[in-house]
A = this chain, B = another copy of it.
Amino acid sequence: MTPSLDGRYDLLTLGETLLRLSPPGLQRIEQARLFEIGVGGSELNVGCLLARLGRRVAWVSRLPEGPLGRIIDGEARRHGVDTRWVRWIPGTRLGLMFYEPGPEPRTSRVIYDRKQSAAAELGFEDAPWDALVQGSAWLHLTGITPALGPSCRALVLHLAALAAAAGKPVSYDLNYRATLTTPAEARAVLEAVAPHLRLLVLAERDAQSVLSFVDAGEQLATAIATRYGIPLVTLTRPPDAVPGTLLLANGEFHYAPQYSVEVADRIGAGDSLVAGLIHGLIDGDLELGVRLGAFAAAIGLATPGDINYLGPEDVARFHANTIGGLER
């Protein structure tokens, strides 16, 4: 029996992870002779950034035994994520993503090779979920996990209900992936978890194409909040939209500041936004959440790799409102 974990974690999250392989510089995959090795996975990205912000984070997954799994585990721990609940599975594989950058007018491309990974069979038997939910202040889920397979789907639905029943706030990032699921399935999962959610994050284009909403901007956020009865709805919008990303909180709108960004890497910005939001919301500071989330997302875009190396120096500049420049 797992001893009580009460008060141990600020955040519990779980899901898939991917080894990321990408060519250096602006090369195309086909012309590469080297791949830079990175680590990704939406929930892990969120967890790493929250750990870097000082939160106590537990991330649960399944990893293949061997050095590839240890690359993931080591990277998570490096940022301060508690990985003790990860299960190590012999004879399985690690999901992969190949990322090709897309300087204009090329297309940035992610080629996923994630089928049959250890994580895709994450399920009830893999962790003491009751104790973990009970021991955590917040539960973060994404729409990727239920799309991985039936055990994952059942787990996500169960955990959302469990957390809500325990009075724990639950966040959910829709994160629609056409290569993993269908709009109908994504919708069905969302409908099942919606009653348990404190915060829903989704892209405007997914709200339209997956959830079949017709509005945009504020009207869209209002329509989503109304249909699903979720207190906090964050709508991410295209880089050049005005306004940009917005958060609807119980009828009131909060707007993310927009930054000029020199893009180094297109992956992971949404996860940085989510981490910033949760960081603020844990302290009950919704405005901070929106602002820090937007700042973290911008820093993430200007940093190579999925995981955001936002540090205390950046946060200090954020609070001092002295972003950018040269410090010597």
Contacts and interface: CB of A to CB of B under 8 A. Distances in A.
B106 A302 contact: yes
Interface in A96-137: 96, 98, 100, 102-113, 115-116
A70 B311 contact: yes
A37 B30 contact: no
Given A77-B78, A78-B75, A326 B266 contact: yes
12 contacts: A28-B303, A30-B74, A34-B34, A67-B98, A75-B78, A94-B113, A103-B262, A104-B259, A105-B299, A107-B314, A107-B324, A266-B326
B74 A79 contact: yes
A314 B104 CA distance: 12
Interface string A62-106: 000111101100110111100000000000011010101011111
Interface of A: 21, 24-37, 65-68, 70-71, 74-75, 77-80, 93-94, 96, 98, 100, 102-113, 115-116, 177, 179, 259-262, 264, 266, 295, 298-299, 302-305, 309, 311-314, 317, 323-328
A202 B57 CA distance: 42
A108 B103 CA distance: 19
B104 A262 contact: yes
A177 B36 CA distance: 29
A103 B264 contact: yes
B26 A302 contact: yes
A313 B107 contact: yes
Nearest to A295: B105
A183 to B, nearest CB: 16
Given A27-B304, A105-B295, A113 B93 contact: yes
A201 to B, nearest CB: 17
Contact of A35 (B37, B80, B177, B309): B37
B328 A177 contact: yes
A29 B69 CA distance: 10
Contacts of A80: 77
A41 to B, nearest CB: 13
A328 B111 CA distance: 7
Given A77-B77, A107-B313, A37 B37 contact: no
Contacts of A36: 33-34
Contacts of A34: 34-37
A326 B35 CA distance: 19
Contacts of A77: 77-78, 80
B309 A31 contact: yes
Given A21-B35, A179-B328, 5 more contacts: A29-B68, A30-B70, A103-B262, A107-B314, A110-B328
Contacts of A309: 28, 30-31
